[in-house]
Structures are given as C-alpha cells and as structure tokens.
Amino acid sequence: MGKQHKKIIKRSRRKQYLKRKNEQAKSSVVRKESAPAKKTVKKAAAKKAATKKTAAKKTAKKAATKKVAAKKTAKKAAKKAAPKKDEE
C-alpha cells in the first residue's frame, strides 16, 4: 500500500508544481510588457530623430526639384531666345 500512496502524492505534487510554473510564466509575460518604461522613452527619442531625418530629406528633395524646375525654365527661355535655324 505504501508504494501506491507515494505515487499518488508525487503526481499531485507535480500537478501543483506545473500549475505554479504556468502561472509564474503568465505573470512574467505581463510584467515584461508593463515594465520597460525606459524602452518607450528611447523609442520616442528614436522616432523624433527619424522624423527630423525625414523632414530634412523632404526639404532637400524640394530644393532639388526647385533646382530642376529652374533648369527646365532656363532651357525653355534659352530656346526661345536663340534664333531658329531655317532649313533651305
């Protein structure tokens, strides 16, 4: 009788252990989501830097398009001002 009793106790203790382990794992996942306040600050700073970079790129792109547009208008004006060659 004694051996059977020990087996039942082992099984019940193992069930309790696994239950505790699973609960701990679930609670640690929740803690990981709520705890990293420092990471959110870093992410916000990174976002600001990224927006500054994209803004700088946009302004550079606008300036480049303005230069291209200015060149096109200069070419058109040069064509109009230059005398046309008549074919004979």
Query: Is residue 33 domain-resident?
Result: no
Residue type present at position 86: D
Query: Is residue 1 domain-resident?
Result: no
Average model confidence (pLDDT) for the chain?
78
Could you list the residue range(s) of the whole structural domain that residue 61 is in? 39-65
Q: Which of 64, 82, 83 is nearest to 74 (CA)?
A: 82
pLDDT tier for residue 20 given thresholds of 50, 70 and 90: very high
The answer, yes or no, to whether residue 12 has pLDDT greater than 90, is: yes
Q: Which of 53, 35, 34 is nearest to 45 (CA)?
A: 53
Better pLDDT: 4 or 1: 4
Better pLDDT: 48 or 18: 18
Query: Is residue 56 domain-resident?
Result: yes
